[in-house]
């Protein structure tokens, strides 16, 4: 029960606004939500110092008066900050006020979370905002009202926050409001944003408008008097006013047209609103205006016969008024005006029921979804942002198929955009176009009223150049998809040619070998290399011959594993059989390449004497199963002065000075000598091989540990085989 007289007065004003503007009102539930809002926010203050609950209250008043839809939206407005800012959760709201209210509050909370504390640069943020709105149109209406009240009280926050919120409003909420057909909300959001983003220009334009007010009012009276006389003769009920000029609109025209204020502001504009349900009266009024004043050719638009996507309807024309001045005239019915000002909210009010059978709204929501459902999953966010902004900001043209069907396209659209709008197959095979019966280039810009016929051919496919002039998201996405598929096919063909040639020449290439070859040939990636093969830009015979020659040369220059393994064994001076030097012939097994310091064992063979294996050799385990008696004990001679050569492979992240770091880590430990070192780099990584002299396995292990500690080194392994 509300006791405070001030609070009771506020509730009474809200209920009165609901009675005036809403078709049905559950006053008990609105009163309950008002009390709940008061209680939930009782300890909170706004930055202005006012009690916080005044904000949700003002948001609810905006919804009730300026964008009225239903009482559920008003209740959701009162509660829209409860979940975000208080201890109450959605379950409580659902239980107290119903599932619909809880879902709308949840949607508004999520949208607020998307933008909190970050710059609006990611396309994903726009996407989430749209998709949450599509679920229930009332979510976005509450958010518009919330943003509008925040902008009206923006003077209380710090300048940095003012600019961030104003920029966000100008880039997202104002164009969004326009798409919803909320003309009045859009203009106010733009003007308030302009005020905080460019205060100097805002104040100057406001001052100039004020100084010219009397002059304008005088001229508009002179222009409208004869029209009023005629309207009375036709018994038409009307309202005529000078269309308000919005500051941001004037500023934007000054910038884009590069003209001074006087030239922009001298474009007079009036609006005639007819109190009639009959749209034909608009055409009667148009006839009256054209009788009085000379119409300007090419400045007539009929949005009554062909409404905009957001259901905006009006007649626009420009005529030459007294003193030779051009005057813009808009003619619409009261119903059309309310839809233009209050958008989808007003549109619903004129329907008997708010169901999915409302075709206009359903089409509009489908159009919103279409922007995203045609976006491929891997599409770059930047491209998604561009296509969304395009659909949000650009005006539309209306073109016709040969059968007379109407299609809406953005201004600047081409025959290729039109072709993809009809069907992706028509777009893919589009080879030419006729506009109004004449063949035109595919990059021709279309105009409202054009009739198009697309000429197709099975042999025609999208051209890379198309991406430069098409502007609809659907066309761009389809062309990119085709180009990517075509490139994949070329790369696949190139890879097949490579594999056949390598197989024919009986060569073997590891992934590492291919990476080295590609780097040496100055290609950025295997894909680019295979593509060049398919396009005939690479002479494979020449490349593979050169590769074979280089391998031979490298083998001659660099010490191979077998070479340094044999040298190591020679340095030690033979092995001991059963602890003694022996004249028995022996050799070292190639399967495991033992070197001094490894635990070894001998295996008696026929014709080759004793084969020396490492004790861990898998091959030895297999052959010893046949006859264990052929195994003999062998050891390396224990001479401290002996050194042997060991081989290490080192891999890691390529960086300046890595060769020096590796060398220093080895040499600085017991003055270890390096026999050879070789480093190859590819795609910011390196592969290296090092041969060095060590005393024993412990010495080698210490070196490996030191190398592994180097920054950027991924792995260090001993050579196991050739």
Q: Which residue has the tokens 């190859």?
A: 680
Phi then psi for residue 201, to 5 deg, are -65, -40
The DSSP output letter for 581 is E
Closest by alpha carbon to 716, among 630, 673, 671, 658? 658
Q: Please give the torsion angle defined by the CA atoms of residues 319, 320, 321 and 326, in that order, rounded to the nearest 10 degrees.
A: 80
The DSSP output letter for 597 is T
The answer to whether 488 is a known catalytic residue is no
Among residues 47, 84, 705, 720, the one annotated as catalytic is 84
Q: How many CA atoms lie within 13 A of 13 on its CB side?
A: 12
Tokens of 619: 């091959």
- 184 with 151: CB under 8 angstroms? no
Tokens of 613: 């294996």
CA 38/CA 491 separation, integer angstroms: 66
CA 427/CA 587 separation, integer angstroms: 73
The answer to whether 627 is a known catalytic residue is no
Length of the chain: 722
- In three-state secondary structure terms, 270 is strand
Other Cβ atoms closer than 10 A to 412: 16
Among residues 13, 26, 85, 204, the one annotated as catalytic is 85
Tokens of 119: 């710059």
Q: Determine how β-strand 644-653 pairs with β-strand 713-718.
A: antiparallel
From residue 569, give the alpha-carbon distance in Å to each of 574, 588, 612: 7, 9, 11
What DSSP string runs through 601-650?
EEEE-SSS-EEEEETT-HHHHHHHTT-GGGEE-EE----TT--EEEEEEE
Helix (H) or strand (E) holding 562, with range, is helix 561-572
Q: Could you give the residue numbers annotated as active site?
A: 84-85
């Amino acid at each position: 029960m509300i006791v405070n007289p001030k609070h009771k007065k506020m509730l009474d004003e809200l209920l009165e606004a609901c009675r005036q503007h809403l078709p049905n009102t559950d006053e008990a539930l609105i009163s309950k939500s008002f009390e709940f809002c008061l209680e939930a926010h009782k300890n909170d203050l706004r930055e202005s110092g006012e009690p916080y609950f005044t904000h949700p209250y003002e948001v609810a008043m905006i919804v009730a008066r300026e964008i009225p839809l239903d009482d559920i939206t008003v209740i959701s407005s009162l509660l829209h900050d409860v979940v975000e800012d208080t201890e109450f959760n959605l379950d409580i709201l659902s239980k107290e006020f119903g599932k619909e209210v809880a879902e709308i509050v949840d949607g508004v909370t999520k949208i607020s979370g998307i933008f909190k504390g970050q710059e609006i640069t990611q396309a994903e943020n726009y996407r989430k905002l749209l998709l949450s709105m599509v679920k229930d149109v009332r979510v976005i209406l509450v958010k518009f009202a919330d943003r509008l009240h925040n902008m009206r009280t923006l003077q209380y926050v710090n300048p940095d926050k003012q600019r961030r919120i104003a920029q966000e409003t100008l880039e997202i909420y104002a164009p969004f409001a326009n798409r919803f057909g909320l003309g009045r909300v859009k203009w106010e959001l733009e003007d308030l944003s302009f005020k905080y983003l460019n205060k100097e220009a805002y104040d100057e334009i406001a001052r100039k408008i004020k100084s010219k007010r009397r002059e304008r009012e005088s001229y508009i009276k002179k222009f409208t008097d004869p029209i009023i006389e005629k309207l009375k003769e036709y018994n038409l009920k009307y309202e005529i006013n000078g269309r308000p000029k919005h500051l941001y609109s004037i500023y934007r025209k000054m910038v884009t047209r590069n003209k001074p204020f006087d030239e922009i502001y001298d474009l007079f504009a009036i609006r005639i609103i007819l109190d009639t349900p009959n749209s034909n009266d608009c055409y009667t009024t148009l006839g009256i205006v054209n009788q009085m004043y000379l119409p300007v050719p090419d400045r007539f638009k009929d949005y009554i016969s062909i409404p905009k996507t957001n259901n905006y309807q009006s007649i626009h024309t420009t005529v030459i008024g007294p003193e030779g001045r051009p005057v813009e005239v808009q003619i619409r019915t009261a119903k059309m005006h309310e839809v233009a000002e209050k958008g989808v909210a007003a549109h619903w009010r004129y329907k008997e029921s708010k169901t999915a059978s409302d075709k206009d709204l359903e089409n509009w929501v489908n159009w919103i979804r279409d922007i995203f459902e045609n976006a491929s999953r891997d599409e770059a966010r930047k491209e998604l942002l561009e296509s969304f902004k395009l659909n949000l900001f650009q005006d539309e043209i209306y073109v016709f198929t040969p059968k007379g069907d109407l299609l809406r396209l953005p201004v600047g659209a081409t025959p290729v955009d039109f072709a993809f709008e009809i069907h992706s197959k028509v777009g893919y095979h589009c080879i030419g176009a006729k506009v109004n019966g004449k063949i035109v280039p595919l990059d021709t810009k279309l105009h409202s009223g054009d009739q198009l016929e697309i000429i197709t051919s099975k042999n025609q496919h999208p051209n890379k150049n198309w991406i430069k002039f098409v502007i609809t998201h659907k066309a761009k996405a389809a062309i990119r998809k085709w180009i990517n598929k075509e490139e994949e096919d070329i790369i696949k063909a190139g890879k097949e040619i490579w594999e056949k040639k390598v197989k024919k020449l009986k060569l073997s290439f590891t992934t590492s070998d291919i990476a080295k070859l590609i780097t040496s040939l100055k290609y950025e990636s295997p894909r680019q290399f295979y593509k060049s093969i398919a396009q005939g830009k690479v002479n494979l015979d020449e490349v593979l011959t050169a590769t074979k020659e280089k391998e031979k040369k490298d083998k001659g220059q660099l010490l191979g594993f077998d070479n340094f393994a044999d040298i190591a064994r020679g340095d030690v001076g033979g092995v001991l059989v059963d602890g003694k030097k022996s004249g028995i012939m022996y050799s070292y097994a190639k399967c495991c390449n033992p070197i001094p310091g490894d635990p070894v064992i001998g295996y008696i063979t026929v014709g080759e004497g004793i084969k020396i294996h490492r004790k861990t050799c898998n091959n030895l385990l297999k052959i010893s199963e046949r006859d264990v008696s052929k195994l003999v004990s062998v050891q390396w001679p224990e001479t401290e002065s002996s050194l042997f050569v060991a081989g290490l492979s080192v891999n890691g992240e390529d960086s300046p000075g890595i060769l020096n770091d590796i060398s220093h880590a080895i040499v600085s430990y017991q003055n270890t000598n390096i026999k050879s070192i070789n480093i190859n780099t590819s795609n910011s990584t390196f592969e290296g091989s090092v041969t060095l002299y060590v005393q024993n396995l412990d010495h080698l292990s210490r070196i490996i540990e030191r190398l592994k500690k180097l920054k950027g080194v991924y792995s260090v392994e001993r050579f196991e085989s050739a």
